[in-house]
Amino acid sequence: MKADQFQSPDYYNLDDLLSDEHKMVRDAAREWVKREVSPIIEEAAQKAEFPKQIINGLAEIGAFGPYIPEEYGGAGLDQISYGLIMQEIERGDSGVRSTASVQSSLVMYPIFKYGTEEQKKKYLPKLASGEMMGCFGLTEPDHGSNPSGMTTTFKDNGDHYLLNGAKMWISNAPFADIAVVWAKNEEGRIYGLIVERGMEGFTTPETHNKWSLRASATGELVFNNVKVPKENLMPEKSGLGAPLGCLDSARYGIAWGAIGAAMDCYDTALRYAKEREQFGKPIASFQLQQKKLAEMITEITKAQLLAWRLGVMRNEGTATSAQISMAKRNNVEMAINIAREARQILGGMGITGEYSIMRHSMNLESVITYEGTHDIHLLITGADITGIPAFQ
Ligand code: TGC
Ligand code: FAD
C-alpha cells in the first residue's frame, strides 16, 4: 500500500468551530492512525484478520469510552471530541472504527448508563484500557431490523439466570471477553446481561467469507443454558429503548466516522488526479474529473456541518434519536457515493490494495447496513415528520 500522505480537507474552515482540546484530540488520533493503522491495515483486510496489536493504541488515544467519566477510566471528553476520534479512526478503516464504536457506545455506555455501581467499577476501567474487550448482541438470525421480535430469553433459576438463544453478525464476538446481550425475561421484557467468555454453554463462532469490514472480526453468540449470575443483569433500564439508547450513541459516532472514510477517498483521488497524466495532461484538468472532485468536497463539507451541529446538540443534551438517524443515513450514503466516484478517478489502480479506496468502498457496505439500515433510518425520519410509523 502507498505511504499515507493524507491531508484533511476543511473547505469551510470548520477548524474555527473547534476548541484547542478538540484539535489536540483529533490531531493525536490522526497521527496515531498514520503511524499505526495505515501501514498494516491493507494486509489485515486482505488476510481478513483483526489487527489485535492496535488495541493498546486505541486505548491510548481515548477511543475506548471517550465520553465516559475519568473516574471509570474513560477520557471524560465531550461529544465533538468523541466524533472527531471516530472520524480519524474511520479515515484509517471502518472496521477499526467499529471496534472502537462497539467498545465505547455499545459496551461501556450501557454498563455506565444501566449498570450497577459494582458493574461499573468491575468492567469500565478494564474496557477503557483495552485490557478487556466487549461486544454487543442485539441482532438475531431472524430479527435484524426488528429487534423487538427477539427470541433470546433468560429465566430465573434460583441464584442465577438461564440464558438461551443466539445472536448473529456481532462485531468483536470472536475475541471479546464479555458480551452485552439483550434478551427477554419470562414476562417478555428486554434486559441487558453481561455474559463472560468461559461461562459454560456460551460460544462465539466466527463469521467467515465477508467481502466487507474484513479487518473487523464478526461472529455469532450462542447461548445454550448459560448460567448468568444475577449480579450480571443491568437493572437501571429495560425495554427496547435500552439497546436503542446505546445505538443513538454509536450511530452518532458513525455519522462522524463516515466523514473520515469519505475524506480519505477524496484526498486520495485529488492527489492522484493531479499526478496522473492522460492525453498529455493531468486528469485533474478534465472537466468530468473536476465535477466529481467538486461534488465530493461539497458533500463532505455539508456532512461535516451536519455532524458538528449534531455534536453541539449532543453536548447540550437536545439531539433527538431522529436527528441522529438523519445524520447517520446522510453521511454514510455521502461516503459510499464518494468512495465509488473516487475509485473511478483512479481507473484500474482504484481496484487495487495499493490505495485505500476500494477497501473503504467495501467497508461502507456494512456501515450502511449496520446500526439500522439506510431504509430504517429513512423510515425513522418519515415517522418523526409525519407522526405515522411506517415500519409495518
Ligand atoms: P418503537 O416502538 O419505535 O420503540 C420501542 C421503544 O424504544 C424507544 N426508542 C428509543 N429509545 C432510545 N433511542 C432510540 N433511538 C429509540 N427509538 C425508539 C421508544 O420510545 C419505545 O419506548 P417505550 O418506552 O415506549 O417502549 O420500536 P419498534 O419495534 O417499532 O422499532 C423501531 C425501529 C425499527 C426504529 C428500531 O427497532 C430500529 O432502530 N431498528 C434497527 C435495528 C438496529 O439498528 N440494529 C442495530 C444492531 S447493533 C449493530 O448493528 C452494531 S454494528 C456495530 C459496529 O460494528 O459498529
Ligand atoms: P433485515 O432486517 O432482514 O433487512 C433486509 C432488508 O429489508 C434491508 O434492506 C432493510 O432495510 C429492509 N427492511 C427491513 N424492514 C423493513 C421495513 N419495515 N420497511 C422497509 N424495508 C425494510 N448487530 C449487533 O447486534 N451487534 C453487532 O455488533 C453487529 N455488527 C455487525 C457487523 C456487520 C459487519 C454487519 C453486516 C452487521 C452487524 N450487525 C450487528 C447487524 C446489523 O445491525 C443488521 O445486519 C442490521 O440491523 C439489518 O438487519 P438484517 O441484516 O437482519 O437485515
159-201 tens-digit pLDDT: 999 999 999 999 999 999 999 999 999 999 999 999 999 999 9
HSE toward the beta carbon, residue 347, CA cutoff 13 A: 8
Over residues 63-81, the mean pLDDT reads 98
Percent of the chain with pLDDT over 70: 100
**Which atom of ligand 2 is found nearest the CA of 172?**
28
Full 3-state SS string of 237-291: CCCCHHHHHHHHHHHHHHHHHHHHHHHHHHHHHHHHHHHCEECCEEHHHCHHHHH
For residues 326 and 306, give the distance between their C-alpha atoms in angstroms, rounded to a whole number: 9
Question: Is the Cβ atom of 107 under 6 angstroms away from ligand 2?
Answer: no
Q: Measured in angstroms, how far is the CA atom of residue 373 from the centroid of ligand 2?
A: 6
For residues 16 and 20, give the distance between their C-alpha atoms in angstroms, rounded to a whole number: 10
Active-site residue numbers?
A: 371
**Which atom of ligand 2 is found nearest the CA of 372?**
47
Each residue's pLDDT tens digit, 223-281 = 999 999 999 999 999 999 999 999 999 999 999 999 999 999 999 999 999 999 999 99
Each residue's pLDDT tens digit, 29-55 = 999 999 999 999 999 999 999 999 999
> Which residues have any ligand 1 atom within 6 Å of their CB?
98, 101-102, 136, 138-139, 145, 147-148, 171, 239-241, 244-245, 247-248, 250, 321, 370-372, 376, 380, 391
Over residues 54-83, the mean pLDDT reads 98
Protein residue with least CA distance to atom 23, ligand 2: 139
Protein residue with least CA distance to atom 18, ligand 2: 391
Q: Measured in angstroms, how far is the CA atom of residue 206 from the centroid of ligand 2?
A: 18
**Which atom of ligand 1 is found nearest the CA of 239?**
26
Are 217 and 171 contacting, i.e. CB atoms less than 8 angstroms apart?
yes
Each residue's pLDDT tens digit, 337-383 = 999 999 999 999 999 999 999 999 999 999 999 999 999 999 999 99
Each residue's pLDDT tens digit, 206-231 = 999 999 999 999 999 999 999 999 99
The amino acid present at 160, given as its one-letter code, is H
Provide the pLDDT for residue 2.
Answer: 82
Provide the pLDDT for residue 1.
Answer: 79
**Which atom of ligand 1 is found nearest the CA of 324?**
15
Percent of the chain with pLDDT over 90: 99
Protein residue with least CA distance to atom 29, ligand 2: 170
Provide the pLDDT for residue 116.
Answer: 98
Cell numbers for 376: 430504517
Question: Is the Cβ atom of 119 under 6 angstroms away from ligand 2?
Answer: no
Stated pTM of the model:
0.98
Each residue's pLDDT tens digit, 275-296 = 999 999 999 999 999 999 999 9
> What's the chain's average pLDDT?
98
Work out the pLDDT band at 142, boundaries 50, 70, 90.
very high
